Each structure stands twice: as C-alpha cells, then as structure tokens.
Amino acid sequence: MVVFTVMIMNRAGSLLFVRDYDDIPRLLANERIMLASTFHGLSAIAGQLSPGMDNSGMQTLEADTFKLHSFMPLTGMNFLMVADPTQTGMDGLLRRTYELYADFVLKNPFYTLEMPIRCSQFDKAMEELIESADRGPAWRSNSN
C-alpha cells in the first residue's frame, strides 16, 4: 500500500477525517488528535517564519519509515497523507483528495461545516482513489 493514512483538518486544527488504508499499527484517538494539532501548530509557525513562501506552512515531513505530505488550499483546510517514503507524485493525489472533498462533502446538504466528515460516498471515492494510486500512475491523467 502506498498511502498509509489520510487526515483532514479544519482551519483551527481540529481533526475532521481520519482513515487508515494499510495494516500499520493504529494510533489511539487521542494520539491522532495530538498528532494533528502538533502538525497544525508547527505548520503555522513554519508558514510565518518563511518569508518567501505563500504562508502555506510545512508541505512535507520526512522520516525513515514514512513521509507526511500536506496540502493547504486557500480555504485553510489541511489535507495530510502519510505514505511510503519512496512514493512520488503525492501532490496530485492530495489535490484529487481536495476535489473529492469538494464534490462529496461540501455539496452534501446534510453536512455542516467544521463538523467531522461522515459521508459514505466520500469514503467510497477515497477508497477508489487510494486503490488506483496503488495500481500505478494512471490516476494522475484523470486529475488534470
């Protein structure tokens, strides 16, 4: 599996969505919340310390066993993916995740902004996206 975990945070750093897509050791709910809030704070600080950047904060955090990729659109939401450290092309996958969020969550009349995401169509679309990313680069041609 290429992508281990997907997380979506709101502008305040609250965790709205978390899904694991691999058989990695699972974090407890409190550990996930701490991870998301820590990354949110570090990313905000990094965005303010980098004068040449567009204030988007950290985009990649590299470790020996994983790489955390971040995408922050103009809405202020933060889309995070924890993936294999050798995986490339995660920017396109994160942008496609944002498109799915806009299509299935924001257009859902029963969804309230800033609340946890509970949308079966979004879950299914994310499963398909992650599975297609595992099959190879064919998904990239659909995201443009």
Residue 117: predicted pLDDT: 95
pLDDT at 141: 46
Q: Which CATH number fits domain 3-135: 3.30.450.20, 3.90.1150.10, 3.40.718.10, 3.30.450.70?
A: 3.30.450.70
Burial tier of 130 (Cβ tally within 10 Å: 0-12, 13-18, 19+): buried
What pLDDT does 66 receive? 86
Please list the rounded mean pLDDT of every run of 10 residues in the chain (144 residues).
86 90 77 83 80 69 88 89 87 94 94 92 94 68 46
Domain range list for the chain: 3-135
